[in-house]
Amino acid sequence: MYINELLEEKYKAQRQLSRKAEIEKKDYFEVVENEVQELFTQNGWEMQFDK
């Protein structure tokens, strides 16, 4: 399997989020959603969802 620096960082971030989910006893996707919401709040971005 071909792995470059970008993919390595992606996998590293996924492992960190997975560990955080295990520690907090939450679902992985819940942790990801919370992280994204926090990022958007910090940067003043608006999150919009399509129907």
pLDDT along the chain (51 residues), means of 10: 87 96 95 94 91 82
pLDDT at 5: 92
pLDDT at 43: 96
3-class SS string, the chain: CCCCHHHHHHHHHHHHHHHHHHHHCCCHHHHHHHHHHHHHHHHCCCCCCCC
pLDDT at 36: 94
